[in-house]
Structure 1
């Protein structure tokens, strides 16, 4: 049955004879044609009807056409399943997915631009139209005066179908076109609108037109299941039956008890609790259906009876349509249609019969049923291949698959929730991967079609699901397939725009543990494979560009894991093959240094140089991505990196600071960063590494002493920090920064008694209360007590005014004297810590930082975590002397059981703790243990042959080499050793 009401038309639209038209109350008529109406539509100029796949149209009276036309059947050779009438003509959907467009003269022709596309939905506005394809793509054509095509601002419009590329990847459920605006709805209930917005019909809170699809954020989470566009207003329906309307309200078509426009979606309060099942918009009126009560409500313009309530006036609240009892009792409402000045209800008898129209179809998605068909072998391989191509070539189809529909969780899709059912994905891909033919075909489609088509600037969070699905699929592939697809996926991830990348990183942070570890393993294996090829002497220049892609993804995931405090550990990212590559470089360097003449003679030196340059270039690309380096590899890189030369400092031992500062001011930045430091003392002018280590030891002892007046110190004088008020020239902090960076560059462990906060700040990591506790335990623990205070008190008898280094400070300048309360105590503590470690020292620290990065390449520094950086510069105090003994090697006539060696170790064991530390300084130039532990100190001992019994032991600090005279007895050895470590370092005398 077709019921209709509104502006006068030819009796029964000529669908039946005049005497077969039933006239009900309030001008409502109904017809039951012999051939049932399957679908119909009414626009400004035409009403169209589909019966048995054939189309009939009737021209409606209008300003240009002052009388009704006759019902005319279009002579088409196609079976039509849907018709949508717009402002001037209509769009027809052919069974099979082709589209025809009908002009004012009712001539139909195929739409250009949709060849080989299967269309499943069509929509028509005043002067533009839309189509949704089976693979989830939106196409548009017509005018673009207000951006209603969603292409771009300067697009002139088009008579042929144009792809709305910005929506690629969004799994769509519905499209809708209004007068000059357009909407689409995703499977997860996200609403996108664009086009004319003069009355706020886009629901974006303003009246500015949009030329690209824009998310209606205020409808997020509302579980929207359908949307309908009117002339200048829009209505949406949420699961559960809530109706929102927005846009023009001049005729009451929003149903809000007013005739005002609404720029934001607003609930139609009068329908609250009615569980509306359908909503549709006409030009200036709106219809809703409540399936449970079989009632239809209307509101808006009623000047031509289109509200069906017996009144010829506008209504601003929903009012029941006066349908006959027969319509309510015998028929079920299938579809509401609201036109320019007409309203229609398409119904069928219960239980269903032939009159029921073909339901609106959705995009193709992958589900368990489809996978079951593929695996069962019940369908020809040709059909299966066709399905695979459709699903896996479309990001929209994949993104609409495996949704977590339980408890409607997919409607919660946002930057925090991706909407995927991870268990379903895992089991589905596990089934597919067992069939070699299936997986091979899928790999081909993904590689050749899907990945190249991915949009680097996707709209909406749903478009990013494919980047979560593909790693789970790829990691189940064989090695060769896996590596190729992993690289292609990495490239696409790195091409994403920054905002999309942030959302993807948020999704990574919330992945289940197994998925997150699988993601890391996928990119780690690919990285390790390529690094292994380099270490195995494969000089493939292609690797140099391929490898960083994998490692960049690993670094991104690593940072996500750190920020989200995920259980996955740092060791899960480390690639041990990096150590092999560093060993190769060291071997090459040693070969070139020790065998240069022989290599020249045999013609092998150029090959080694090429291999060295290649490996070094690869490492330089990787140092900014440090998650794959273990600490040993980082230190090895620092130790063995190639210098471009040396720059000298010529110093007086009695004026180290004065001389070094005056010369460092003049050294160019490039030399400071890329040249090794050489130190000469005017007293002897020997060029040895001993001089450099001695210089760093003494200059930092002097700089960090209280007498320097450069720093403030904690109560027990064990740790220093930058001052809030300067006592020395600001330039000294700049030069101090240069010296710290030079010590770092030259692998020197120095006296730098600062809390971890210093090293965090260098690496742009925000210091915390824990760092303040390290510096000032009394103050820090007091602040921690405030945070831990459990009693419920509103005010804590404190204010935001503090005193630090004798200066009174308002932590909240906008509210002087503000009281600390239970609700703001975290803010108070944060501001307190921030002031001490950041704001109060900002000027001084920036000078220090400027100096540091003048002498240090930022990329190299960022290889290290804050704790590692402190360890590299300061060392540690884990003195395991047994390891030193175990790792010692003997040269010349010495061996482990030599009497002098036995005596030496007996003497060493008898030394005090401080004397042993002094020996370490004597041997290595460092007071503390290197960050890699005592095992990194490889002491060598050899006899000092040219000596008298008065000679002292000597040490070559750069090689940890101890030259030990063969003394006559143990007592002499002990005396001379203690004298040496107390008064000498290396080869020079004080």
Structure 2
């Protein structure tokens, strides 16, 4: 049955005799043609009907004619039509095979060229533009584009040939809709995209600016939108559960908000609240909605020609029921509402319970396990395999698969939530992987069809689900194509726009642990493979390019894990093959460092030097991705890199700081970071030894960190230092301190810098935390921790002022209201600002001078290789004095061996030393007071006989080689006395 009302029209449309038309109240008429109307559409010039797959159209009366034309049957040969949509002057038709036909204003029909080989499932028509959706999720547009209604960007003119709307590639489209000069797409997860004319706010974006590209309607996110309809200049959206939102032109009341104002944002139609609307459709200037229970139709908007079905010719701004025929209520259900230019239609089916049921042929193809069953043992396995290929070749189809439908989870898709059902993905991949033929088919399709088409600048978050699905799928494959797929995927990830990559990283941060580990494993294994190729085949540009892509993704994932505090160990990211490549480079660097003057004088090593430079360049790039290095590799690379000459610093033993201030001032020495530091003393400028450098660093930092220097403040127990809030010395001293710290780092010298971890975080641009403050000042820091842990009642009773008290001063966080107290709502912000003040704001001037000096003395890229804890360890060392390891790692040369009486006596004496005496021995041996970051195992002591010595001689050391030279003492007591005297000896200039 078809009911209709509105402007005067040919009685019965010619579908049956006029006398068989039933007249109801308020101008509503109903007809029941012998051939039932399967679908219909009404535009400005035509109304069209589909009966038994055939199309009939009726030209509506207009300015040039005061009466309707006759019903005309279109000549469509063998086409069986299932959909028709009418525009301003023509119509678009869709047949059962998915072919599109165009009807022009003379009612002539012709196939639309450009979509012959595609299966279209939905069509939409505006005034002068049209859209078609294919079953693999691709959207095609044609017509006028003056206001951006095609979504093809501003510079694109209109087109009569279908153009693929690439900006929506990857979006699993559920519905398309076209209005007068605007367009909408609704995704499977309820995300709404609009574009085109926006003069009345019909795009719902909060303004009246036209859009030439699809734009997400953010205010409709997470509203569970299931249907969208466009009118002339207004739009309506239907949410699951039956709520309706309208926006755009409201001059005729067509928004239903009890006003005649335009709305630029989607607004809930309050009068329909609780009505559980099942359908909504927009006409030129009026709107129709229907409810399933009870079976009602509501109308609002322009009714000047009776199109509201209320018997009056008025503008109506609130939804009111249409007086539809009541005798059919129990027998028919409302299948479709159609709102045209000045007409309204309700198509009823004589099948209870079918109202608003979606047509499965109108949805894009998505994957399900039944598809695999059909491929394996279905009636038509060829078609099933073809369908499988289509799903895995389409970004939209694959993104629309595996959605978390339970509790409508996929409707919550956002930048924070991808909407995937991870369990469903795992079970589906497991099922698919059991069939080698199918998995091989999928692999080929992914490589040849899917990956090449991915959009680097996708619109909306849904399209990024694919970058979560693909690594998991690829990681479960056992195929030679796996490496190629991984490389192609890596390229696509790194080509994403910054905004899209940021969302993807958020998705990574929320992955299940197993998925996150699979992601790391996939790119780590691919990286390791290319490291091996580089070692065997030398530096190959293709291999290097691929490898750098993989490690960049690993680094990004690692940073995501750190930021999100994910419980995934750093060891998962380390690529041990890096060490093998480093060994090759270090062998080459050793030759260059040991012979660099000779190298500069000969021309015989160009090939070797070119090869070394290629390795060096590769490693320089790899240092940007430090997560792949273990600590040993980082330290080894630093120690063994090639230096560009020496920087000699000549100082007086009795005036270290004075000379350093003069020689290392901001206006001099611009290239310290590339050169090996050599310390010369004016008292003996001819003697160059690494011992001098270690002695220099040891004592210059003793002076700088001494309370008498007034450079720093100490914590309560005087074990740590920090920059003062108020400077009492010249700023240039902090610059000097920074240079010296940078030089110490650059030259792998362990120095005494009793700073909290906050310093090393700041050097790496990591924000210090409350835990860092607790390390520096446990009492004060824990008091802030207590504030975060207080119950609401305790906090309210305490009346703590919103004031920072630090370094003898008080700071009100809100000077405008100094009497404020800490509350449950502001305590987190208070603690954050407190820590920020101590570590950042109050020391900004001194720290910036220090930072500037620090990076004058060392390369920033090398510093950024390390984590904060590692950076502190490299500079400061540690106090894990495992003397047994020192003994196990000691080697003997010349006349000595482990069983020699002198060696046995030495270790007996050493074991009897006090802890402080053992530390003094370590300083005597290495020039460092603390253990290097790699632990005592990094101290490789060698023991040899002191040539031409007697029992009167003291033991001697070469600290740069950790070489202990012992005389042959006959008695243990003599050895003990000489060792203690040696480690206590005034062995350096600083005590003379």
The answer to whether the superposition gives a TM-score over 0.5 is yes
- Which residue is 1:932 aligned to? 934
Shift of 1:986: 8.3
Q: Deviations over 1:98-131 (max 9, x none)?
A: 2222222222223233242221111111111111
- Measure how far apart 1:845 and its partner are: 0.4
Give 2:858's aligned residue: 856
**1:5–1:674 Cα change, 3 Å:** same
CA drift of 1:943 comes to: 0.3
Q: Indicate the SS of the match to 1:831.
A: helix
CA contact (8 A) 2:666 2:735 kept: no
Tell me the equivalent position of 1:843: 845
Shift, 1:149, TM fit: 1.2
2:586–2:641 Cα contact (<8 Å) kept: no
Is the aligned partner of 1:578 residue 2:541? no
Secondary structure of the 1:319 match is strand
2:510 maps to what in 1?
510
2:55/2:81 contact within 8 Å kept: yes
After superposition, the Cα gap between the structure-2 partners of 1:103 and 1:479, relative to the gap in structure 1 and judged at 3 Å, is closer
Whether 1:970 aligns to 2:957 is no
SS at match of 1:907: helix
Q: Answer whether contact 1:955 1:987 (CA < 8 A) is retained.
A: no
Secondary structure (helix, strand or coil) at the match of 1:330 reads coil
Matched residue, 2:335: 334
Partner of 2:951: 949
**Distance (whole Å) between structure 2 residues aligned to residue 598 and residue 811 of structure 1:** 64
The match for 2:83 is: 82
| Secondary structure at the counterpart of residue 333 of structure 1 | strand
**TM-fit CA distance, 1:242:** 1.0
Root-mean-square deviation (Å): 2.4
Report what 2:312 is aligned to.
Answer: 311
Equivalent residue runs for 1:355-370 within 5 Å: 361-370=362-371
The equivalences for 1:219-230 within 5 A come to 219-230=220-231
* Structure 2 residue matching 1:329: 3-state secondary structure: coil
1:913 aligned residue: 915
Deviation at 1:228, TM superposition (A): 0.5
Q: Which residue of 2 aligns with 1:477?
A: 477
Q: 1:145 to 1:554 in 2, by over 3 A?
A: same
Aligned to 2:400: 400
Distance 1:987 1:907 in 2: 28
Structure 2 residue 907 is matched with structure 1 residue 894: no
Report if aligned partners of 1:749, 1:926 keep a CA contact under 8 Å in 2.
Answer: yes
Alignment correspondent of 2:67: 67
SS across alignment from 1:105: coil
Question: In structure 2, what is the equivalent of residue 749 of structure 1?
Answer: 750
User: What residue number does 2:468 align with?
Assistant: 468
Q: Secondary structure at the match of 1:820?
A: coil
Go from structure 1 to structure 2 and tell me whether the alpha carbon gap of 1:738 and 1:814 turns closer, same or farther (over 3 Å shift).
farther
Give the equivalent residue in structure 2 for 1:170: 171
What's the TM-score, normalizing by structure 2?
A: 0.96
Q: Which residue of 1 aligns with 2:437?
A: 437
2:614 and 2:479 mapped to 1: Cα distance?
25
Q: Secondary structure at the match of 1:211?
A: strand
Question: C-alpha distance in 2, partners of 1:766/1:596?
Answer: 42
Following superposition, the deviation at residue 846 of structure 1 comes to 0.7
After superposition, the C-alpha distances for 1:859-883 in whole angstroms (9 at most, x for unaligned) are: 2111111111101100001111111
- Does the aligned pair in 2 maintain the 1:921–1:985 contact within 8 Å? no
Q: Once the 2 structures are TM-superposed, how far is the Cα of residue 590 of structure 1 from its aligned partner?
A: 4.9
CA contact (8 A) 1:677 1:746 kept: yes
Cα deviation 1:909-951 (Å, max 9, x = unaligned): 2222111111111111100000111111000000011223332
* SS in structure 2 of the partner of residue 93 of structure 1: strand
How far did 1:324 drift? 1.4
Q: Which moved more, 1:478-487 or 1:664-673?
A: 664-673
Whether the 8 Å contact between 2:593 and 2:643 is mirrored in structure 1 is no
Give 1:583-732 correspondences, 5 Å limit: 583-590=583-590, 609-665=609-665, 671-685=671-685, 686-732=687-733
SS, match of residue 793 in structure 2: coil
Give distance in 2, aligned partners of 1:362 and 1:432: 23
1:554 match: 554
Give me the whole-angstrom Cα distance separating, in 1, the residues matched to 2:164 and 2:115: 9
Change (3 A) 1:334 1:791: closer
Q: CA deviation at 1:720?
A: 1.0
The answer to which of 604-613 and 67-76 deviates more is 604-613
User: Residues 384 and 821 from structure 1, CA distance in 2 versus in 1: closer, same or farther, beyond 3 angstroms?
Assistant: closer
Q: Where do 1:102-181 residues align within 5 Å?
A: 102-181=103-182
Q: Aligned partners of 1:519, 1:701: CA distance in 2, in Å? A: 48
| Correspondences of 1:771-786 after superposition (within 5 Å) | 771-786=772-787
Give yes or no for contact 1:348–1:356 (8 Å, CA) kept in 2: no
Q: Is the 8 A contact 2:139 2:168 kept in 1?
A: yes
- Would you say the 8 A contact 1:795–1:822 is kept in 2? no
**Does structure 2 retain, via aligned residues, the 8 Å contact 1:38–1:356?**
no
Quick check: 2:792–2:824 contact (8 Å CA) kept in 1?
no
Q: Say if 2:375 and 2:385, in contact at 8 Å, map to a contact too.
A: no
Q: What are the equivalent positions in structure 2 for 1:16-415 lying under 5 Å apart? A: 16-77=16-77, 78-350=79-351, 361-376=362-377, 378-381=379-382, 383-415=383-415
Are 2:773 and 1:766 equivalent residues in the alignment? no
Taking the aligned partners of 1:670 and 1:531, their CA distance within structure 2 comes to 35
Q: Is the 8 A contact 2:229 2:280 kept in 1?
A: yes
C-alpha displacement of 1:595? 10
Change (3 A) 1:942 1:987: farther
CA distance, structure 2, for counterparts of residue 669 and residue 376 of structure 1: 78
- The Cα of 1:94 is off from its aligned counterpart by 2.4
2:351 and 2:888 map into 1 onto residues whose CA distance is: 92
* CA positional deviation for 1:967: 2.3
Please say which of residues 122-131 and 886-895 is displaced more in the overlay. 122-131
Shift of 1:248: 1.3
Match of 2:867 among 865, 868, 892: 865
User: Which deviates the most, 398-407 or 801-810?
Assistant: 801-810
Deviation of 1:615 (Å): 2.8
Counterpart of 1:458 in structure 2 is 458
- TM-score by structure 1 length? 0.96
| Structure-2 change in CA distance of 1:802 and 1:366 (3 Å) | closer
Against the structure 1 CA distance between its residues 908 and 282, is the aligned structure 2 distance closer, same or farther, given a 3 Å change threshold?
same
Question: What SS class does the counterpart of residue 84 from structure 1 fall into?
Answer: strand
Q: CA deviation at 1:62?
A: 1.8
1:49 to 1:605, Cα distance in 2 relative to 1, 3 A: same
- In structure 1, the partner of 2:807 is 805
Which segments of 5 or more consecutive residues in structure 1 lack a partner in the other structure?
A: none
